[in-house]
Amino acid sequence: MNERQNAKQSASDSRVPAGGRGPTGGRGPMGGPMGGPGGMMRGGEKARNFKGSMKKLVGYLGKYRLTIALVWALAIGSAVFMIFGPKVLGRATDELFTGIMARIAGTGGIDFAAIGSIILQLVLLYGVSALLSYSQGFIMSGVTADISRRLRRDIDDKLHRLPLGYYDRVTHGEILSRITNDVDTINQSLSQSLTQIITSATSLVGILVMMFSISAPLTFVALCVLPVSMVSVLAIIKHSQKHFRHQQEYLGRVNGHVEEMFGSHIVVKAFNGEEESERAFGEANERLYRSAWKANFLSGLMMPITGFIGNLAYVAICILGGYYAVNGNMTVGGIQSFIQYVRSFNQPIAQLANISNVLQQTAAAAERVFEFLDEAEEAPEAERALSIADAKKGVAGDVELSGSVRFNHVCFGYAPDKTVIRDFSAEAKPGQKVAIVGPTGAGKTTMVKLLMRFYDVSAGEIDLDGHDIRLFKRNDLRTRFGMVLQDTWLFSGTIADNIRYGRPGASDREVRAAARAAQVDHFIRTLPEGYNALINEEVNNISQGQKQLLTIARAILCDPDILILDEATSSVDTRTELLIQKAMDNLMRGRTSFVIAHRLSTIRNADLILVMDDGDIVEQGTHAQLLEKGGFYAKLYNSQFEATA
């Protein structure tokens, strides 16, 4: 196991197991990221600090306070106009009832003009209410969309400021969860619940006022069933909540398992793992079924129980209202209006009860988002970070680099208790080709990561032209390096875009020249679309060797001052390797270069070879000097030929 694998393993050992992750510590057998959509679902979670989370969210909304105030005013207006509707309709009923009774008595008829006027008022009321409701919905949709955009932008900015060590400890799915599910939860809650709180509260108060204005005794009868309904709802929520949490947990495990198996289906088939995969899926799916059944059954009881209790009140009100109407204490239209209000009375209560649960989920989502945004472990820049001048691009700066690199007693470990580099000291002069060799796990790739400031040293320092690299701006420092890693990385897009990634402004002519230098131009021109050929999302429509060549072309196009080649030709055949070696030799001429290689035949012409073992330099010199010494390097070099023999 090499040093990168050690780092990943130590990081995965310290992670808290999450739903859907296997023993690979958050990555599938093929190395793909884990977590998946299911792992992101946290609808049953509650915030550890509800008040604090909501306070931060309200503070985040401060920019929109005037707009939200307008939305609330529109929501209140919409609810008020809607509340007056039943009472106006009751007047129409009274007119109709009075006209019918007058016709029966032979003293008059139905006043259709008065009824028409009342209906026109009713249409106007409902029309204005609908317009205000549409307006507040339209405005609030824009606000919540902008809030989601800001949150995702802030999370994305934070992602780039965090050191790579943070990603060693936190799974990919956990980070994706915050930028997708959690932000979506906040978005949906704000777009619906924020205005619904005002609408429901306004409706509740308004309906109560209208009910008391019609009949106080009937209102008290309606209110008597309210505590019974609330107790029933709270009892159901209390018992169903744990099942909803289990449902989300097991849903995450099911989706995580499916994603892992789908992403690594080649390995599963190669090792006949289908039966074990089906067994694991069946167990998780069965647990999901049991928890989902209980959660949905209990939550489904809420509406029938509250409806039954509401109907009891409805019956009592009808009987008592009829009695009042017979005695002349109420009109028929008043009874009809009151019954409408009673039927509407439970709706805002149910909405407020539902909103309280939604707010818990919102607070949990906001807590996770702000917890990530408040993460203190950012990669800090020096107080007065140095900029690097670039004469070729006409960029001014504090320092003009020549390419001198010195490692001064460098110590480093991915975890405090696991030191990878113990005491590394070496110097590379400008223009030198420095090879770093050694057995797997010696710390070769780690030295490159330290040089690029993917991680900062635990002790000692790395100097670039006499300046500690921690004093430079990270972006300036990394623009002076070109890297070709053993693990190739390409994205979904055209071949030209992948080569141009290191220099977005490069012309098509420069892209083709870099491809020719990397010996990949011929392969590209054989494709029907040439340089516009698309690489798919899985990057499996080209071979591993062709991927390697494209990444080499990308490094050549960057035209860097310092080159880092980590097993850059590990995936190509011997003939192509020789051609690339010539191209790389031309590219490295006049540039400081660090080459990591296991095939020692490829670095025989290096100006300096550093031989590493267990995080220390055990030998250094040229190829001839080290062979003549007959030490550790000579044994490594000769062992390749002994294995062949």
Q: Per residue in 383-440, pLDDT tens? A: 677 777 776 666 666 777 778 888 888 888 887 777 888 888 888 888 888 888 888 7
Closest by CA to 246, choosing from 282, 281, 284, is 284
The bridge status of strand 459-464 relative to strand 405-412 is antiparallel
Which region among 101-105, 250-254, 349-353, 390-394 has the lowest average model confidence (pLDDT)?
390-394
Considering only residues 476 and 538, tell me which one the structure prediction assigns the higher pLDDT: 476
Residues 167 and 379: their CA atoms lie apart, in Å, by: 12
Of the three residues 267, 298, 329, the one that is the final residue of a domain is 329
Same domain, 236 and 298: yes
Query: Model confidence over 176-210: pLDDT tens digits?
Result: 777 877 888 888 877 777 777 878 888 888 888 88
Tokens of 486: 């053993």
pLDDT at 39: 36
The answer to whether residues 145 and 183 belong to one domain is: yes
**Does 56 fall in a domain?**
yes
Which residues does 128 contact at the CB level (< 8 Å), separation at least 6? 77, 81
Instruction: Please give the backbone phi and psi of residue 440, each rounded to the nearest 5 degrees, phi first.
Output: -60, 130
Q: What pLDDT shows up at residue 131?
A: 93
Give me the pLDDT at residue 358, please.
75
Contact 452, 562 (CB under 8 A): no
Shared-domain flag, residues 157 and 299: no
Q: How many domains does the chain have?
A: 3
Indicate whether 74 and 197 sit together in one domain: yes
**CATH number of the domain within which 173 lies:** 1.20.1560.10
Nearest C-alpha neighbor of 526 from the set 539, 542, 510: 542
pLDDT at position 526 over 60: yes
Q: With respect to residue 611, please indicate whether it lies within any of the assigned structural domains.
A: no
Q: Are residues 71 and 186 in the same domain?
A: yes
Torsion of the alpha carbons at 397, 403, 409 and 415, rounded to the nearest 10: 70
Mean pLDDT, residues 265-277 taken together? 85
418: alpha, beta or left, given left = phi > 0 and alpha = psi -120 to 50? beta
Report the distance separating Cα 24 and Cα 252, nearest Å.
17
Domain for residue 140, yes or no?
yes
Listed residues 329, 359, 394: the one ending a domain: 329
Quick one: 308 exposed, middle or buried, by C-beta within 10 A (0-12, 13-18, 19+)?
Answer: exposed
Mean pLDDT computed over 364-381? 76
Pairing of strands 534-535, 493-494: antiparallel
54 lies in the same domain as 162: yes
pTM over 0.85: no
Same domain assignment for residues 181 and 224: no
* Predicted pLDDT of residue 15: 34
Rounded to an integer, what distance in angstroms lies between the CA atom of residue 348 and that of residue 602?
76
Both 102 and 148 in one domain: the answer is yes
- φ, ψ of residue 585 to 5 degrees: the values are -65, -40
The answer to whether residue 569 scores a pLDDT higher than 90 is no
DSSP 297-317: HHHHHHHHHHHHHHHHHHHHH
Q: Quote the pLDDT of residue 19.
A: 34
Q: What is the mean pLDDT of the chain?
A: 78
Q: Does the pLDDT value for residue 34 go beyond 60?
A: no
Same domain membership, residue 318 and residue 170: no
**Residue 264, C-beta contacts closer than 8 angstroms, at least 6 positions apart:** 28, 29, 30, 32
- Mean pLDDT, range 80-106, rounded to an integer: 81
| Domain range for 526 | 490-559
Give me the pLDDT at residue 509, please: 92
Greatest mean pLDDT among 26-35, 265-274, 567-576, 579-588: 265-274
Residue 215: pLDDT band (50, 70, 90) is confident
Look at residue 459 and tell me if it is in a domain. Answer: no
The count of C-alpha atoms lying within 13 angstroms of the C-alpha of 7, restricted to the half-sphere facing its C-beta, is: 21
Share of the chain above pLDDT 90, in %: 2
CATH number at residue 509: 3.40.50.300
User: CA–CA separation, 224 vs 217, rounded Å?
Assistant: 11
Query: What was the pLDDT predicted at 528?
Result: 87
According to DSSP, residue 538 is labeled T
Claim to verify: residue 276 and residue 187 sit in the same structural domain = no
Q: Residue 44 pLDDT more than 60?
A: no
For residue 139, being part of any structural domain is answered with: yes
Q: Tell me: the pLDDT tens digits for 589-627?
A: 778 888 887 777 778 888 889 888 887 888 888 888 988
What strands lie across the sheet with 459-464, from one edge to the other? 467-468, 459-464, 405-412, 421-428, 616-621, 608-613, 433-437, 592-596, 562-566, 481-484
Residue 584 forms part of a structural domain: no
Q: Which of 161-175, 371-385, 456-470 has the highest mean pLDDT?
A: 456-470
51: Cβ–Cβ under 8 A, 6 or more apart, which residues? none
DSSP 315-370: HHHHHHHHHHHHTTSS-HHHHHHHHHHHHHHHHHHHHHHHHHHHHHHHHHHHHHHH
Boundary (domain end) residue, out of 214, 236, 252: 214
State the pairing for strand pair 562-566/534-535: unpaired
Same domain, yes or no, for 77 and 191? yes
Dihedral angle, C-alpha 407, 408, 409, 414, nearest 10 °: -50
Pairing of strands 616-621, 608-613: antiparallel
Q: State yes or no: pLDDT of 70 exceeds 50.
A: yes
Residue 377 lies in a domain: no
The secondary structure of residue 486, as a DSSP letter, is: S
Is residue 341 predicted with pLDDT exceeding 90?
no
Domain for residue 458, yes or no? no
Q: What is the band of 48 on the pLDDT scale with cuts at 50, 70, 90?
A: low
Q: Are residues 156 and 285 in the same domain?
A: no
